[in-house]
């Protein structure tokens, strides 16, 4: 499985102590569950002990959910348009 790290040519250093600013660049991929298990565990360890990063994770999770909701609310009328067009074509 191709992880976020291989795609972006990043390597997670599991021996280095993660700081908040170090964690931030991994957070998006962490929230998307695209990290390798090593990186995921490392970020997860920091997040578990850091209120600041826990807040960031929950904010990003909420944002992602909002994006998903707005995307699906756009695609419904679009599908409706296609259905109407197809129905109209059938009537001709």
Q: Which is nearer to Zn ion, 5 or 44 (CB)?
A: 44
Q: Apex CA 58: angle with CA 53 and CA 64, to 5°?
A: 125
Q: Nearest distance from residue 49's CB to Zn ion, in Å?
A: 8
Question: Rounded CA gap, 49 and 57, in Å?
Answer: 13
Q: Is 39 in the site for Zn ion (CB under 5 A)?
A: no
Answer for which of 8, 13, 20, 84 binds Zn ion (CB under 5 A) is 20
Distance of closest approach, residue 52 Cβ to Zn ion, in angstroms? 5
Query: Binding of Zn ion at residue 50 (CB under 5 A)?
Result: yes
Degrees (nearest 5) of the Cα angle 25, 70, 27?
A: 10
Give me the helix-helix angle, 37-48 and 20-31, nearest 10°: 120
41 touching Zn ion, by CB under 5 A: no
Supply the minimum distance, in Å, between the C-beta of residue 24 and Zn ion.
8
């Amino acid at each position: 499985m191709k992880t976020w790290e291989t795609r972006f040519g990043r390597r997670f250093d599991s021996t280095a102590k993660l700081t908040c600013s170090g964690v931030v660049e991994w957070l998006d991929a962490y929230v998307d569950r695209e990290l390798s298990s090593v990186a995921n565990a490392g970020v997860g360890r920091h997040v578990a002990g850091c209120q600041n990063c826990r807040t960031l994770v929950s904010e990003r999770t909420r944002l992602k959910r909002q994006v998903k909701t707005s995307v699906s609310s756009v695609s419904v009328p679009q599908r409706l348009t296609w259905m109407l067009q197809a129905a109209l074509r059938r009537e001709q």
